[in-house]
Amino acid sequence: MKDTLKPDKITDYFKIEWCALLFTSLSGLIYNLGLMVVTIYEGKLAQSLFDIYEGSKAFKDMIVVAGVYLFIIIIVQTARYIKRFYVRRFANNTNRRMKQVLYRSLVHKSKKELEQESVGSVITKAISDVDDCVEGMRKFTTEVFDTGVAVLGYIGMMFYYDWKIALLCLIFPPMSYVIAEKMKVLVQRMGAKYKESAARLSSTTLDRMANSMTYRVYGCEKARNEAYEDSLLDYEKAAVRSQILGNALQPIYHVISMVSVLFILVLGGKNVTEHIWDIGIFTAYISCFGKLSVRASKSAKLFNAVHKAQVSWKRIYPLMKNVQREAESSCDTGEILIVEKLGMESVFKGLSFEAKPGQIIGITGPVASGKTVLGKVFLQEEPYLGRIIYGGKDFSSQGNVSYLGHSLELFSDTIENNILLGDEGDAWEYLRAVELDKEVAAMPEQLHTKIGTGGRLLSGGQKQRLALARALAHPRGILILDDPFSALDKDTEWKVYQNLRAYTQNSIVFLISHRLYVFPELDQVIWMENGVAEAADHGKWMEKSALYRELYKVQNQEVRNHE
């Protein structure tokens, strides 16, 4: 995508596709001007047939007219094909660009921002709203020629043949425009309700899929099925109301536009009987008006499509922003981290320390002391007091932090792809680092084993280690591990910890855990208790904090008892 694109400006999507629109314009002009010539020759064919009937012309004369008519039809249909091809290319490219912008915008949002909106609404915006918006742009582009140019041409022809009848005929077609414009507010309102209903249905469907077992176990299936049926019924009603306004009004627009044909039948017939017109002109005039009324009714439908697109554009507009690409973000390693008087209101305060590359720092404390929240501060997901300086600059998490939380984000893909994420490398190296290589080697497809949605085909410990292998394969300056060893036995935990040391010589690792087995080996320990966080080494905390000392002794005793 070109860097000059401003994704929140509709006109920029037209500008960037100028080449496709140029071909659309040229072919559109040829197509619509050709249709007017076709109308003239339809009249000539009718006149030739009448002349043959009267005996003033021979059949061969009609063959010549028919040959020219067929040649013009071929040119018109060729131009129509070219126009449709390029207008579709414009629409496809615009759809792709919009979805790329929206996708990058969603990816760069914080988890808290994403959680404020339902998944169903996000999916609807990412797919349906973009599709509807682009469809409105496509129809607008098409109708500029199929309606704008054509209508002007047909009106010109009608005035050329008889301006008085033309004025009378133009009374009713504009009424369809006026009615469509009056329906604007209602169309937009129904379109917005339809989008909201679609978003709710998507959310309900995802909920049914994700929690189906829970509903079944606790006997809630009947109630949830009824709730789902309510969502379906609401969606059906909203869709019907929206589609009625978009499609069912089209015949009404057409009927209104066609009322004026009565003037042609009466006054045009009079012109024929008075020999002002011949049969060819009368036929061409009716054909011309018929096509004009069709275009007029379609333009009314275009208004509805544009109004629908406006609803979709308003929904996605906040997300249509240029954001920095992942590849352009900083991934600095080997820098010093300085934390000065770090705190969060009502959670903790007073944390100051300095960390160097290669250090592993433990974070622990009683339940609900703020351990996980401290880890998320480095993701810039939580507001904080104090300063964080990394590499001599105020800290920004963009590309500098790798985070493994309680909810492991694994893809429904192969083990190899979950580790390398499409990069080149040896996935086995990282599997060995997390003590998962032997288990993967025992799987039928080994690295190419697909793990299912969220890694559902793996055990809890395997998920943790696979996510850690991915973090090691893509080193960042700061690695935050939130309880990464909770599903591992003591021996595996110790081996993974030693390998972690070797693989993170250029990174600073924060190990959030309530298991203190490896804490004596850590460079620093951040103890959080009673709203205060402080950094020291394991030995100092054994002397200073009775609760820390008690937790460590109890856990060590439990380990010895299990041995």
Please give the pLDDT value at position 398.
57
Sequence-ordered alpha helix ranges (H) in 17-58: 18-54
Tens-place pLDDT, residues 416-474:
877 877 777 788 888 888 888 888 888 888 878 877 777 777 777 777 888 888 888 88
Alpha-carbon distance of 286 to 260, in angstroms, equals 10
Please give the pLDDT value at position 74.
92
Alpha-carbon distance of 496 to 509, in angstroms, equals 14
Alpha-carbon distance of 490 to 502, in angstroms, equals 19
Region label for 435, one of left (φ > 0), alpha (ψ between -120 and 50) or beta (otherwise): left
Q: Note whether 289 and 158 are within 8 A (CB).
A: yes
pLDDT band at 562 (very low <50, low <70, confident <90, very high): low
What percent of the chain has a predicted confidence (pLDDT) above 70?
81
Alpha-carbon distance of 263 to 251, in angstroms, equals 21
263: pLDDT strictly greater than 80: yes
Q: Kindly state the tokens that stand for 12.
A: 């920029």
Alpha-carbon distance of 178 to 32, in angstroms, equals 24
pLDDT band at 71 (very low <50, low <70, confident <90, very high): very high
Greater model confidence, 409 or 347 = 347
Q: Note whether 76 and 35 are within 8 A (CB).
A: yes
Please give the pLDDT value at position 457.
75
Taking CA atoms, 455 is separated from 207, 409, 458, 556, in Å, by 18, 8, 6, 32
Tens-place pLDDT, residues 322-371:
765 444 445 556 678 888 888 787 788 878 888 888 888 888 888 777 78
Tens-place pLDDT, residues 517-559:
788 888 888 888 888 888 888 888 888 888 888 887 877 665 5
Q: What mean pLDDT is reported for the chain?
A: 77
Tens-place pLDDT, residues 199-246:
777 777 767 766 776 766 666 677 777 777 888 888 888 887 777 666
Pairing of strands 524-529, 360-364: parallel
Please give the pLDDT value at position 461.
76
Tens-place pLDDT, residues 154-177:
788 888 888 888 888 887 777 766
What percent of the chain has a predicted confidence (pLDDT) above 90?
1
Please give the pLDDT value at position 117.
60
| DSSP helix/strand/coil, 325 | coil
pTM over 0.75: no
124: pLDDT strictly greater than 80: no
Using alpha carbons only, give the angle 393, 398, 401 rounded to the nearest 5 degrees. Answer: 90
Please give the pLDDT value at position 114.
59
CA dihedral 31, 36, 39, 41 (to 10 degrees): -90
Alpha-carbon distance of 303 to 352, in angstroms, equals 62
30: pLDDT strictly greater than 60: yes
Computed from CA positions of residues 167, 169, 170, 175, in that sequence, does the dihedral angle turn out positive or negative? positive
Please give the pLDDT value at position 328.
42
Pairing of strands 508-512, 478-482: parallel
Please give the pLDDT value at position 1.
42
Taking CA atoms, 302 is separated from 137, 144, 243, 246, 314, in Å, by 10, 10, 14, 9, 18
Residue type, 457: L
Instruction: Report, in angstroms and rounded to the nearest whole number, the Rg of the chain calculated over CA atoms.
Output: 35
User: Of 476, 464, 366, 449, which is closest to residue 407 (Cα–Cα)?
Assistant: 464
**Is residue 351 packed enough to be buried (19+ CB in 10 Å), middle (13-18) or exposed (0-12)?**
buried
Tens-place pLDDT, residues 512-525:
888 787 888 888 88
pLDDT band at 2 (very low <50, low <70, confident <90, very high): very low
Separation of CA 45 from chain center? 53
